[in-house]
Amino acid sequence: MKNFHNQCSSNHMNKRKPRLQKGVVLLESLIAILIFSMGILAIAGLQAFMLKGTSEAKNRSDASVIAQRRVARMWADAKADSAALSAAYAEVDTVVPELPNGLRTTAFNAAVPDEVTVTVTWQSPGEPVHNFSTNANIVGAR
């Protein structure tokens, strides 16, 4: 009889446990979905940030290439005809189509006869103006 009574009371207790935990699985599932969604949103934000950084790095690299290409042309032309170099290459805000709103300025330093400064500026939408500047000494630039 004692065993029967213990079995009945243990069966009775087993039946109560599911009633007390009703809806817990649903709540745990919703919390898991919430945590997963926050992780996915964080990854999407990180990807957008990385894409912006990559774009800025590409623009900086392009600006460097544009300025160095300009200096290389001046070096090549200085060997051929150095007298006309400053007249041929001096420019202010020449449009550079490789960059968003890109402009290039080539200035010859009046204080230092052979010094040339090439400045490239650009501005992506919603961003501040960026610039890259390089100086070069070209013998016979003026």
Q: What is the pLDDT of residue 11?
A: 55
Per-residue pLDDT, averaged over 104-117, amounts to 86
Residue 104 binned pLDDT confidence (cut-offs 50, 70, 90): very high
* CA–CA separation, 108 and 121 (whole Å): 18
Report the candidate in 30, 76, 64 with the shortest Cα–Cα distance to residue 132.
Answer: 64
Angle, CA of 12, 13 and 15, to the nearest 5°? 70
Residue 10 binned pLDDT confidence (cut-offs 50, 70, 90): low
Does pLDDT of 15 surpass 60? no
Per-residue pLDDT, averaged over 69-85, amounts to 78
Does pLDDT of 2 surpass 70? no
Q: What percent of the chain has pLDDT over 70?
A: 80
Q: What is the pLDDT of residue 37?
A: 96
pLDDT in tens, 50-66: 998 898 999 999 999 99
Residue that wins the pLDDT comparison between 3 and 42:
42
Q: What is the pLDDT of residue 43?
A: 94
pTM beyond 0.75: no
DSSP the chain: -HHHHHHHHHHHHHHHHHHHTTTHHHHHHHHHHHHHHHHHHHHHHHHHHHHHHHHHHHHHHHHHHHHHHHHHHHHHHHHH-GGGHHHHH-EEEEEETTSTTEEEEEEE-SSSTTEEEEEEEE--TTS--EEEEEEEE-TT--
Domain boundaries, the chain: 2-137
